[in-house]
Amino acid sequence: MTIAIRRPIAVLAACAAVGALVTGCGAGPGGGDIGAAAVIGGTTIPLDVVQQNITNVLVGSADARKMQQQKPSTFPQIARTIVGLSVLHEATSQLAAKSGIKIDQAQVDQVYGPATAAGKGLGLSQTADVQAKGPLLRDYIGDEMVWSKLGAKQVKTALATVDYAQVADRNAAQALVNKVVAHPEDDKKLFSATAGAAVDAAATPTGVPQDLVLLFAANAGEVVAFPMQSENAWAVVYVKKRVDNAGDTTGGQDTSQLAETFGQLQAFRFAQQAGLTLNPRFGVWEPLLGQVSPSDGESSTISAPVRNPKS
């Protein structure tokens, strides 16, 4: 028996509009494969896979269809979120293989089954009830398990040597980042000019304030900046060295609540290490957040390598 599924005309129209966003003219990542949404570690994430995931969200969410029809300017953010999830899943899968981490699909099913039965999905919007289910949700559940396993070990042994400053706003953060990128040899002078700055400080996941844990998504030789919600200010951090196996750096503190978050940050970090190129039609990749933003000027964080990184 064949069951014909008839979609409402509104759904088809919305899918067509998103199709224009996903499959419009233009080269792929780095001017390469026009059929690629992204390339990471030599592996291509096909555009048609991203297209299908977006279509699935539209078909399954009345709020998503309404957003696309009534406020089309707000829907691309959901599309970017879906692209970001696809990139993050591929990065996580490659990192898991490299680290020897395997996930039991039966465990994924134990989480996925009750969630879908209860009508729960992966939230894609802060302003509307738009959820991802199906493959996107299954992949994310598996990724969370990888992050927990990876983070449970690495969060205890990570150590970074950093310069740190707290500045008033994004403009001040960008100005300091630019100076350090251009003249990393002057890092001590540049950071010391800011009140309350620290130079050559030892940073551990359990030893820094929660707002600063984001620095562990960065590689050595990068200057990063991001907002600190609790301080109403921006942090600027020059990550001078990274050691992943420094011995126990916890000082006896419980790391169970931090493990998954730290593992996720390492997936963000790995995406950069593996060589990520994103199709520019979607925007730009934010390596500290593992997400896609419309452009550099609309990003939520700042990240740049120094010109002559120290060994």
For every one of its 311 residues, what pLDDT tens digit does the chain have, with 9 covering 90 and above? Answer: 222 222 232 332 333 334 444 434 345 565 456 689 999 999 999 999 998 999 999 998 888 888 888 776 777 888 899 999 999 999 999 999 999 999 999 999 999 999 989 988 899 988 788 998 899 999 999 999 999 999 998 999 999 999 999 999 999 999 999 999 999 999 999 999 998 899 999 999 999 999 999 999 999 999 999 999 888 999 999 999 999 999 999 999 999 999 999 999 999 999 999 999 999 989 999 999 999 999 988 999 999 999 765 54
DSSP collapsed to 3 states, the chain: CCCCCCCCHHHHHHHHHHHHHHHCCCCCHHHCCCCEEEEECCEEEEHHHHHHHHHHHHHHCHHHHHHHHHCCCCHHHHHHHHHHHHHHHHHHHHHHHHHCCCCCHHHHHHHHHHHHHCCCCEECCCCCCCEECHHHHHHHHHHHHHHHHHHHHHCCCCEEEEEEEEECCHHHHHHHHHHHHHCHHHHHHHHHCCCCCEEEEEECCCCCCHHHHHHHHCCCCEEEEEEECCCCEEEEEEEEEEECCCCCCCCCCCCCCCHHHHHHHHHHHHHHHHCEEECCCCCEEECCCCEEECCHHHCCCEEEECCCCCC
Cα–Cα distance measured from residue 131 to residue 68, given in angstroms and rounded to the nearest whole number: 14
Tokens (6 digits) for 34: 């026009």
List residues bridging with 228 in a β-sheet: 233
For the chain, give every domain's residue range: 9-153, 156-254+281-305
CATH-assigned architecture of domain 156-254+281-305: Roll (3.10)
Q: What is the longest distance spanned by two Cα atoms in the chain?
A: 75
What pTM was computed for the model? 0.86
Q: How far apart are CA 103 and CA 114, in angstroms?
A: 18
CA–CA dist 51, 58 (Å, integer): 11
